[in-house]
């Protein structure tokens, strides 16, 4: 099971956090900080797996991460997940973001928190992987966007009528 999905930048500023188990707000922030310290001190070209920090449950959990330009994508998982599988999942996630935002960058994550959450929700649900097929994910996201647009349109037009 995936316990948490964290995205933070090279300075440790969180850009997305999604916990699939309940923690208090303080603990969540501490976990983000701890994870950042664990991950950021690692060289490039070392392996993408390491044991989790104490707060998240120590060596029973693994941190699987990828570092893209300014952002770290970290998945915290238990032993029931395949490490390479999760690594691929991160790749799928990033590729999907890239398609949805056209050359995704850190700012997209800040200004479209809701969209990022929605895309993630299409992939991971309650800590389990829901969908790994990028086309399927993008179809869903597109359908949502369409619905959103049509509603905004109706809404704006009614307002103009008034």
Partner 1 sequence: MQGTDCMCLFITFLTGDKALDGYSKKKYICKLLFIFLLGHDIDFGHMEAVNLLSSNKYTEKQIGYLFISVLVNSNSDLIRLINNGIKNDLSSRNPTFMNLALHCIANVGSREMAEAFASEVPRILVAGDTVDSVKQSAALCLLRLNRTSPDLVPMGEWTARVVHLLNDQHLGVVTAATSLITTLALKSPDDFKTSVSLAIARLSRIVTSASIDLQDYTYYFVAAPWLSVKLLRLLQCYPPPEDAALRSRLTECLETILNKAQEPPKSKKVQHSNAKNAVLFEAIALIIHHDSEPTLLVRACNQLGQFLQHRETNLRYLALESMCTLASSEFSHEAVKTHMETVINALKTERDVSVRQRAVDLLYAMCDRSNAKQIVAEMLSYLETADYSIREEIVLKVAILAEKYAVDYTWYVDTILNLIRIAGDYVSEEVWYRVIQIVINRDDVQGYAAKTVFEALQAPACHENLVKVGGYILGEFGNLIAGDSRSSPLVQFNLLHSKFHLCSVPTRALLLSAYIKFINLFPEIKATIQDVLRSDSQLRNADVELQQRAVEYLRLSCIASTDILATVLEEMPPFPERESSILAKLKRKKGRGNLPDIDEARKNVNVNGNGNSEPSDKIEATNKVSSPSFTDLLNLNSTPSAGNTLLVDVFSDNSTFSATEVSEENFARFICKNNGVIYENQLLQIGLKSEYRQNLGRMYVFYGNKTSTQFLNFSTSVTSTDILRTQLNIHAKTVDPVIEGGAQVQQILNIECLSGFTDTPVLNVQFRYGGMMQNISLKLPVMLNKFFQPTEMSSQDFFQRWKQLGAPQQEVQKIFKSKHPMDAEVTKAKIIGFGVALLEGVDPNQENFVGAGVIHTKSIQVGCLLRLEPNVQAQMYRLTLRTSKDSVSQRLCDLLSEQF
Tokens representing residue 63 in the block: 């941190």
Contacting range for partner 1; rule: CB under 8 A; set: 50-58, 68-76, 96-104: 50-58
Contacting range for partner 1; rule: CB under 8 A; set: 45-53, 69-77, 97-105: 45-53
User: How far is C-alpha 117 from the geometric centre of its chain's CA atoms?
Assistant: 7
Helix, strand or coil for residue 6?
A: strand
Nearest partner of 1 among 77, 83, 92, 93, judged by Cα: 77
Judged by beta carbon, residue 74 or residue 89, the one nearer partner 1 is: 89
DSSP code for 30? H
Quick check: 153 binds partner 1 (CB under 8 A)?
Answer: no
Judged by beta carbon, residue 25 or residue 102, the one nearer partner 1 is: 25
Burial class (CB in 10 A: 0-12, 13-18, 19+), 66: middle
Q: Which residues bind partner 1 (CB under 8 A)?
A: 1, 13-18, 20-22, 25, 28-29, 42-43, 45-51, 57-60, 78-80, 82-85, 87-89, 91-92, 110, 112-114, 117-118, 121, 125-133, 135-136, 140, 143-144, 147-148, 151-152, 155, 159
């Amino acid at each position: 099971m995936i316990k948490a999905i964290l995205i933070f930048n090279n300075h440790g500023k969180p850009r997305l956090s999604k916990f699939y188990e309940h923690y208090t707000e303080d603990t969540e922030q501490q976990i983000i900080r701890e994870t950042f310290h664990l991950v950021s001190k690692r060289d490039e070209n070392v392996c993408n797996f390491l044991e989790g920090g104490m707060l998240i449950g120590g060596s029973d959990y693994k941190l699987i991460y990828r570092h893209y330009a300014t952002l770290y994508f970290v998945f915290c998982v238990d032993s029931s997940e395949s490490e390479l599988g999760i690594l691929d999942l991160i790749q799928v996630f990033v590729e999907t973001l890239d398609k949805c935002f056209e050359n995704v960058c850190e700012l997209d994550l800040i200004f479209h928190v809701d969209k990022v959450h929605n895309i993630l929700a299409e992939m991971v649900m309650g800590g389990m992987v829901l969908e790994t097929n990028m086309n399927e994910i993008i179809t869903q996201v597109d359908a949502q966007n369409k619905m959103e647009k049509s509603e905004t349109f109706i809404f704006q037009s009614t307002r103009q009528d008034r």
